[in-house]
Structure 1
Amino acid sequence: MVSTFGGIVVFSIIIGDVLCGSDNGGSVHLGILQEWFGSHWWNTRIFALLFIYGFVLLPLVLCRRVERLAFSSAISFILAVFFVVISSMLAISALMKGQTKSPRLFPDLTNGGSFWNLFTASPVIVTAFTFHFNVHPIGFELKDPLHMIPATKISVVLCAAIYFATGLFGYLLFGDATMSDILVNFDESSGSSIGSLLNDIVRLSYALHLMLVFPLMNFSLRANLDELMFPTRKPLAEDTNRFIGLTLALLICCFLSAIAVPNIWYFFQFMGSTTTVSIAFIFPAAIVLKNVHGVSTSSEKMVAAIMLVLAVATSTIAISTNLYSLTSN
């Protein structure tokens, strides 16, 4: 639940970055609303997110069955692919003009701190591929829960392809200036050669994608939270008061969190090195090693033990490095 909550808060922060821009370490990136209408009180982050939550996300999260989100989920996937296609076209265009950044095959390890900073990438990667909490709530809504097996495999492959393409083309365009939220680089002050129209299309397409993915993540979070808090009550979809109460409470908490912590890096780092690494690696490895039903082979136990040690070590180093960076700044 913590991972899911952190994920939808990250979505909210990114949407806020797209609409209202960000100011990270003195580097100011304008949002779409500021570029179109100038800076006003009504297009600040808090009011823009309040409008999105009230008029876009709230109607979507009020859907009680996951099949009602099928159409919006399909559109969100198309928008994600559209984002990658446009980004690749921009990168190829910049490459032909000789305006791309030269990617490094190996990290710059000029000092010890740079080496330890490599481990801060692992929480981001782990978070990107941690979807386990969505499998069961969505699978129970399907006519045949076994359909989740091929759906999960296809999803992993598609996500890996989209992540790889986004990272590659993003670095070709922005190099070391790439921010934790790459969408804020697609603004008029980013120094890229692309037109403002394509900049806005890229950012809006992915922001809309996140808005449509948000209710699916919220569905899993709400279902898991309800099962934890009310295990003996009737199904959530059949209890209107409980359904609306949980839905509104989660939306309010997500909104306040997105306003209080307007940088996705903190969520990625500490969530990715604690809860998500536990869900993705530590708990599965512990289950295999425990071997309650006696089905684990010796080779599986060996792999699980190695995975457990690596997960704990990497997570510990990542947490320590992030804490050191926070205290030293």
Structure 2
Amino acid sequence: MSLPATLKMLGLVPGIVLIIIVAFVIEGSIEMLLRFSKAGSAYSYGDAMADAFGRIGKVLLQICIVIYNTGSLIVYMIIIEDVLSGSTSKEVHHAGILEGWFGEHWWTSRAFVLVAVTVVIFFPLMFFERIDSARYISVISVGLAIVFLLVVIGVTTFKLVDGSIETPKWFPAVTDSTSFLNLSTAVPVVVFAYICHYNVHTIQNELADSSLIQGVVRGSLALCALVYVMTGIFGFLLFGESTYTDLLSNFDTDIGVPYSSLFNNIVRISYAGHVILVFPTIFLPLRLNLDGLLFPSARPLALDKKRFVLESVGLVLISLVGAISIPNIWVAFEFTGATMGGLLAFVFPASITLKDPHCIATTKDKIVSVSMIILAVVSNFMAIYSNLRSLLS
């Protein structure tokens, strides 16, 4: 939802280029991770880290996944809050669906609605034990995302033909060091959108032919890149410099097309449904890694129902409190993507390659790995510095 805002910050051309480049770099990091996992007979990201760095490597990875996925759940919950109960940005309030339908009441407030959604929807979803258990709702989730994208494309195309779309900003306006540093905050947001490393081994293990995983990864990343580029372009074209960090906040007023209110509701409801149904694919690896971190020698989590329930409920409640406390998704995207995201996507796979425990790394692998680490560290440091500077000021 922040990709159109990313293009607003960077300009149309650099924004699109960034989305495509990150897709290629992510594909390269996953390819290296899978290749070194195969050499070490590792069946998970954690096993690959343990093979290269011992127990400390696996523990460090588990900590990062727990923090990153908790941040992801918080982001998704904030989106649901924005859609259903509205949001306030720069002292401007954007009405949510429930506010638009029923007006402002205590039961349409952000906190109450999110608690209700958590109890009614998230609690049942958290009891899924395997990622393949969520395959059907994942298909529905993808369908809802496609509905969202098609409506945005359709509305934007109508306004382009109508001549009511303003000329977009092609490149960023850099006037001083502060505005330059602010550009770096877009990188973690794009990285956040692609990270899937902790699920790749699980999917590979569940494939009838594990050798197909590279094709699955490339196809998935290509589809994601296409969707992200389309979302960014058409979302930014539709609202221009008025684009908010959460695009859904723009769909609370007349968007200048016939049946505007209907399209607004379709866009917000479809994407909220998509976010809700994505929950298990984020929550399952979060719970699994937290359990491995806290109880490394205990019997499998699926066999201990008490531990399973306590960990599940605890994680959902922590995410709930975080979503109620954090003001908007841009803050959550930036800090989560700039810290744990960079480690999971770039630094850890590159470090495994440089460690090269099975002596299979080529000179090209090592050059690429060093470049990935340098780029991740520099861009993320700049993003974190810019974020902290903005918050403190």
Q: TM-score, normalised by structure 1?
A: 0.95
1:191-237 deviations in whole A, cap 9, x for unaligned?
52131110010010000000000122101111111122122222211
Question: Which amino acid letter does the alignment assign opposite residue 331 of structure 2?
Answer: Y
Contact 2:131 2:280 in 1 (8 A): no
Root-mean-square deviation (Å): 1.5
38-47 vs 135-144, greater mean Cα deviation: 135-144
2:263 matched residue in structure 1: 198
Q: In 2, Cα distance between the equivalents of 1:8 and 1:148? A: 26
Question: Which amino acid letter does the alignment assign opposite residue 158 of structure 2?
Answer: S
2:56 matched residue in structure 1: none
Q: In 2, Cα distance between the equivalents of 1:302 and 1:19? A: 47
1:47 matched residue in structure 2: 112
Please, which of 95, 103, 107 is the counterpart of residue 30 of structure 1? 95
| Residue 335 of structure 2 corresponds to residue 270 of structure 1 | yes
Give 3-state SS (helix, strand or coil) of 2:93's partner. strand
| 1:186 to partner: Cα distance | 0.7
Q: In 1, Cα distance between the equivalents of 2:213 and 2:114? A: 33
| 1:142 to partner: Cα distance | 4.9
Contact 2:156 2:238 in 1 (8 A): yes
Please, which of 289, 293, 298 is the counterpart of residue 233 of structure 1? 298
Q: How does 1:135-146 map to 2 (within 5 A)?
A: 135-142=200-207, 144-146=209-211
Give 3-state SS (helix, strand or coil) of 1:274's partner. helix
1:255 matched residue in structure 2: 320
Please, which of 230, 236, 244 is the counterpart of residue 171 of structure 1? 236
| 1:17 to partner: Cα distance | 0.2
The count of aligned residue pairs is: 326
Q: In 2, Cα distance between the equivalents of 1:215 and 1:262? A: 24
Q: In 2, Cα distance between the equivalents of 1:274 and 1:3? A: 8
1:59 matched residue in structure 2: 124
Q: How does 1:205-216 map to 2 (within 5 A)?
A: 205-216=270-281
| 1:317 to partner: Cα distance | 1.1
Give 3-state SS (helix, strand or coil) of 1:224's partner. helix
1:14 matched residue in structure 2: 79
| 1:137 to partner: Cα distance | 3.9
1:245 matched residue in structure 2: 310
Q: In 2, Cα distance between the equivalents of 1:245 and 1:149? A: 36
Q: How does 1:118-129 map to 2 (within 5 A)?
A: 118-129=183-194
Q: In 2, Cα distance between the equivalents of 1:217 and 1:149? A: 21
Question: Which amino acid letter does the alignment assign opposite residue 169 of structure 1?
Answer: F
1:103 matched residue in structure 2: 168
Q: In 1, Cα distance between the equivalents of 2:370 and 2:131? A: 37
1:3-32 deviations in whole A, cap 9, x for unaligned?
111111100000110001100111211100
1:161-192 deviations in whole A, cap 9, x for unaligned?
1111111111111111111111111112xx52
1:253-280 deviations in whole A, cap 9, x for unaligned?
1111100113111111111111111111
Q: In 2, Cα distance between the equivalents of 1:152 and 1:245? A: 33
Q: In 2, Cα distance between the equivalents of 1:14 and 1:121? A: 18
| Residue 179 of structure 2 corresponds to residue 114 of structure 1 | yes
Q: In 2, Cα distance between the equivalents of 1:270 and 1:205? A: 27
Contact 1:123 1:268 in 2 (8 A): yes
Please, which of 289, 295, 298 is the counterpart of residue 224 of structure 1? 289
